[in-house]
Amino acid sequence: MAVNTDKNSYTVIFAAVMVVIVGSLLAFFASSLSEKIKENERLEKQQNILYAMGVNENEDEGSVNFVSTDRVAGEFQKYITEQLVIEGDQITKDDNAYLIDLKKQETVAKAGKTRKLPLFIGEKDGSKYYIIPMRGKGLWDAIWGFVALDNNLVVQGVYFDHKGETPGLGANIKQRYFMDDFTGESILDGTEYAGIAVAKGNNDPTNEIKDDNEVDALAGATITGNGLSAMIKESVNLYKSYLESIRAKN
Amino acid sequence: MALLSKKDTSLILDPLADNNPITIQVLGICSALAITAELKASIVMALSVVFVLGIGNVVISLMRNIIPSKIRIIVQLVVVAALVIMVDQVLKAFAYELSKTLSVFVGLIITNCIIMGRFEAFALANGPWRSFLDGIGNAAGYGLILVIIGFFRELLGSGTLLGFKVLGDPIEKTGLYATGYENNGFMLLSPMALIVVGLIIWVQRSRNKALIEEN
């Protein structure tokens, strides 16, 4: 039986049926898998935070290996001693602070209200780590990360990730050789919260100069690098008053 | 009867050389320029496209007699987008690490003109088995060029292959770098990918004069 596929009525019915089928198929997939996906994302966040403070399973000098997913919840309990939520001048403890959605908080801030800033305090081998989560813009989409600082606001480790940066170029911000460069840099330039800039041609490709607030850029990824610099600078300034209090205690 | 007839074999083999989607049909150039700075990304993209184009072609081919011609492009777009999103969701739930690696490619696959091109040119007019072979063949031809470009860009641009420092260490000045060799940073940028594509087209056409178009 041949159907006249050129008729207008057929076209409309076909389109309607297709939308219903595809729509319900996608909705079914999304809702039946959403719990599992959320769980994966939760564990990933814990892995990322731990990675920034140096709790990971890196083997050689090139690999980025997180604590495995079946152990991460326990390790997170063990190493992250405090989770704080900073809301204006108010600082409260909250064991689910790591689940705070930074993107939503940005919208809150844009609406003129005070945003919630999560901060994680970790302890490893007797030293304290202050881990700041951050979020910014890369070339194509969002970039985010965690920066672990010590009492003197010197970076002890970082983890960066991205949603859709160009593979081989901007996507390399999550490569070990790039992230490791941040360790040892201070986010302070004198008393100013300068952050750490991703700089081109700073004549320091091996990153031996640790007091210049700069790390060597990735070739071909200028905009991702600039976005990363801006993200770090903005974020540390958001936490300025809390970070000042850490410095004062010292 | 053989599993693949002569025509079937040519469906798979032709796109690898004399009817290559990138160098002859000039489809899929955008992603060939965008993600070939590293060999690994090229390989991942090539495999993803083989998968999506193979299955997508079959789905479109099965639907070919009921798709209204007026809205066929929309239908094709819906099929490929739905397919890619479903695969992405399943990977996110059961293979999270893998999905993280692939997530950047999702957008590139949906908008890849090879996929729409093969739906339009082949799957709408042929049976599912043939369409499947055509999809695999064209995606492989596309992937082959991607891998060649990725190989040269990573080797000459970063001095590595799949992340291994095959030419020595540029900072410690070992291996080839001891002789004063430097990486060519320009290779990492898209314009150089286009030039590499041009070189491949040149080589291919000078080997087989029949491919040169008449003006």
pLDDT tens digits, A147-162: 999 988 999 999 999 9
pLDDT at B141: 92
d(CA B160, CA B166): 5
Tell me what the mean pLDDT of segment A206-229 comes to: 87
The closest CB to that of B89, out of A18, A29, A219, belongs to: A29
Nearest residue in chain B measured CA to CA from A1: B65
Q: What is the pLDDT of residue B3?
A: 66
Alpha-carbon span A210 to B116, nearest angstrom: 51
Under 8 Å CB-to-CB from A47, ≥6 apart: which residues? A66, A67, A69, A72
Cα distances (angstroms) measured from residue B142 to each of A32, A202, B10, B19, B24: 35, 39, 16, 10, 11
Residue B169 within a domain: yes
Q: How far apart are CA A153 and CA A45, in angstroms?
A: 22
Q: Cα distance from A62 to chain B (closest Cα, Å)?
A: 9
- Judge: B35–A167 Cβ closer than 8 Å, yes or no: yes
Instruction: Of B212, B215, B196, give the one whose Cα is nearest residue B29.
Output: B196
What confidence tens digit (pLDDT) does each residue in A12-29 have? 999 999 999 999 999 999
**Mean pLDDT in residue range A131-150:** 93
Q: How many domains does chain B have?
A: 1
Q: Is the residue at B1 inside a domain?
A: no
What average pLDDT is seen over chain A?
A: 88
* pLDDT above 50 for A113: yes
> Quick one: pLDDT band at residue A2, thresholds 50, 70, 90?
low
Instruction: Say whether pLDDT at A1 is over 60.
Output: no
Shortest Cα–Cα distance, A28 to chain B (Å): 10
Q: Is B4 inside any structural domain?
A: no
Point out which residues pair with A127 in neighbouring strands. A124
Give chain A's count of helices (H) and strands (E). 6, 10
* Chain B residues near any Cβ of chain A (below 8 Å): 34-38, 41, 44-45, 65-71, 74-75, 78, 82, 85-86, 89-90, 92-94, 96, 103-105, 107, 153-154, 157, 163, 171, 185, 188-189
Contact B66, A15 (CB under 8 A): no
Does B27 reside within a domain?
yes
Looking at residue B1, its pLDDT comes to: 46
**Mean pLDDT of each 10-residue bin along chain B, 215 residues long:** 73 83 83 84 87 92 90 90 86 82 77 87 91 92 92 88 82 80 83 91 87 74
Helix (H) or strand (E) holding A188: strand A188-189
Cα A50 to Cα A27, A41, B44: the distances in Å are: 34, 14, 28
Q: Which residues of A touch B96 (CB under 8 A)?
A: 40, 44
CB contact under 8 A, A164 and B103: yes
Say if B13 falls within a structural domain. Answer: no
Q: Among A15, A37, A44, whose Cβ lies nearest the Cβ of B93?
A: A37
Q: Which range has the top average pLDDT, A51-55, A144-148, A176-180?
A: A144-148
- In tens, the pLDDT along A33-91 reads 999 999 999 999 999 999 998 888 887 777 788 888 888 888 898 899 989 999 888 88
DSSP string spanning A138-186? -SSSEEEEEEEE-TT-BEEEEEEEESSPPTTTGGGGGSHHHHHTTTT-B
What ipTM was assigned to the predicted interfaces of this complex? 0.73
Q: Is residue B12 part of a domain?
A: no
In a domain, residue B33? The reply is yes
Q: Could A166 and B37 be called an inter-chain contact, meaning their C-beta atoms sit closer than 8 Å?
A: yes
Q: Give the pLDDT confidence score for residue B55 in this predicted structure.
A: 92
Q: What DSSP string runs through A27-58? A: HHHHHHHHHHHHHHHHHHHHHHHHHHTT-S--
Task: Check: CB of residue A6 under 8 Å from CB of residue B68.
Answer: yes
Q: Is B165 a member of any domain?
A: yes
Q: What distance in Å separates the CA atoms of residue A215 and residue B125, rounded to the nearest whole number?
A: 56
User: Residue A220: which of B67, B69, B189 has the nearest Cβ?
Assistant: B189
Instruction: Give the pLDDT confidence score for residue B215 in this predicted structure.
Output: 66
pLDDT of residue B2: 57
The domain containing residue B55 runs over which residues? 21-206
| Residues in chain B within 8 Å Cβ distance of A218 | none
- Gap between the Cα atoms of A241 and B56, Å rounded: 55
